[in-house]
Chain A
């Protein structure tokens, strides 16, 4: 059973990998379309971590854009103002995000449900204010510009190369996540979700696992933030406030928090949906909201599981009336 699931994971990985590699040719080198896929990759990194936290360990976070912001500002500030090497700045962001996640997670992860949501909301807000007010460092509300593009042996990475870089990270982190999920640690996380009482009775240190997965998800978000900063070379606090936090959460929920593939599908749908709806002009927001509501009403388990159920029932009816 699990081996079969493993094989399914592998096929999905290969399929997506092939699509990404061929994508620049599919869209005929159109930079705009390629950049949409870059953003999709960046968002995916955040939502994979969030999915481990929410879907597997059952903990909610309404402040994950803050970790995304920490990564982005660390990379942005350290490379543009202090001329650090991007790799150094990247790891500094990861380290700081992990530290913050540890310090925030330790007390808040003891809370449950709505309380946890409110605590992370508050934490996200604190960082949003910090990004706005530390003007000498962050440039304040008007943003931080002049972040250098990444270059490799003196060659500035153009958009296709950046696409491959970002998706390289997506794949590494996806494989890492899948490995964790199908292991002792993944089972411990799901046990915490399924029932803390029983998890503890089986020797699972629920509190410590919650902190670990919170830190891990913060590291993912920070990696995404760094990649984001170097890609658009200009960042401002509005990308790291409450709305983006909710957006990340929606991506996970819409796709289906139960599996990491669901989270990725949700990210793909919500990242590309605005592009499709652009033609509707002022009705865009209305259509967007309508689609979200329809998904949550008719597929409360998320699109992935909803589709699977739909396929299964279609197959069954076809068997009945051939």
Chain B
């Protein structure tokens, strides 16, 4: 069996009386693409927010690379090698495209207030390195000729790619993509599919939340299906498409087209 990079044991998150995530058990193997699907309100984004530490689980354990994530602050989790994009774009509007990606290098670099203020040579070298690596990620996402533009001036599709570039700049071991195809046209989605594959080839494990079923079915190694915060199925795309529970809860009558 392959090594599990992320494990959730009996994970729970309640908001007041609502159980957004309910006794969830799952694991992701290193290098896989795992998609989390489910109807709106199934708890997909909540799951992302738990993994990235935006709020702590009410119960249960999250383990990443053998380390317990419970109680760690978001920036520390990012430093461990988990990065993400956001369903509602969260680019830094007060910065250029390149600067946005350069922020992604933050967790891998160390210059502090004094050493930057005094322009110590170590810091200058690091700064050059940050710029080069950020440019490399921009090039990887095909945005290199947008570098000096204001981030929020890009069209939506490119903003989404920029968020991925920024997340990649953290050199993550695990990348969480929250609806990367939402709002993209067919051609852009095809390109995105190709890009996600390329990211996987870099050895990065990916969790994908996505509503575009053809993309999900084509790209995923495994699927996790949620409904009302509970796991209703887990397995390969082929198995999931045949699973009667999934068909009933989510895909409805038109599964044949999915």
B-binding residues in A (CB < 8 A): 1, 176-177, 179-180, 183-188, 190-191, 193-195, 197-206, 212, 216, 258
Contacts and interface: CB of A to CB of B under 8 A. Distances in A.
- The A interface is mostly helix, strand or loop, or mixed, namely helix
B71 interface: no
B118 interface: yes
A191 B109 CA distance: 15
Contacts of A190: 92, 94-95, 99
B104 A202 contact: yes
A199 B123 CA distance: 21
Given A193-B94, A200-B73, A216-B113, A184 B106 contact: yes
Contacts of B75: 200, 202-206
B74 A200 contact: yes
Nearest to B176: A201
B116 A197 contact: no
Interface string B65-89: 0000000011100110001101000
A176 B119 CA distance: 8
A197 B54 contact: yes
A177 B116 CA distance: 9
Contacts of B86: 197-198, 201
Interface string B103-123: 111111101110011110001
A193 B167 CA distance: 18
Given A179-B117, A190-B94, A202 B123 contact: no
B95 A184 contact: no
B103 A199 contact: yes
Contacts of A177: 117
Task: Tell me which of A183, A185, A194, A203 has the highest count of chain B C-beta atoms within 10 A of its own C-beta.
Answer: A203
Contact of A183 (B91, B116, B148): B116
B158 interface: no
Given A183-B111, A187-B106, A203 B95 contact: no
A197 B102 CA distance: 16
A28 B187 CA distance: 71
A198 B75 CA distance: 10
A185 B102 CA distance: 11
A203 B90 contact: no
12 contacts: A184-B130, A185-B117, A186-B116, A187-B102, A187-B106, A190-B94, A191-B92, A195-B90, A199-B92, A200-B74, A204-B75, A205-B73
A177 B108 CA distance: 23
Identify which of B94, B105, B117 gathers the most chain A CB atoms within 10 Å of its CB.
B117
B78 A200 contact: yes
Contact of A197 (B90, B104, B147): B90
B113 A180 contact: yes
Contact of B127 (A184, A194, A206): A184
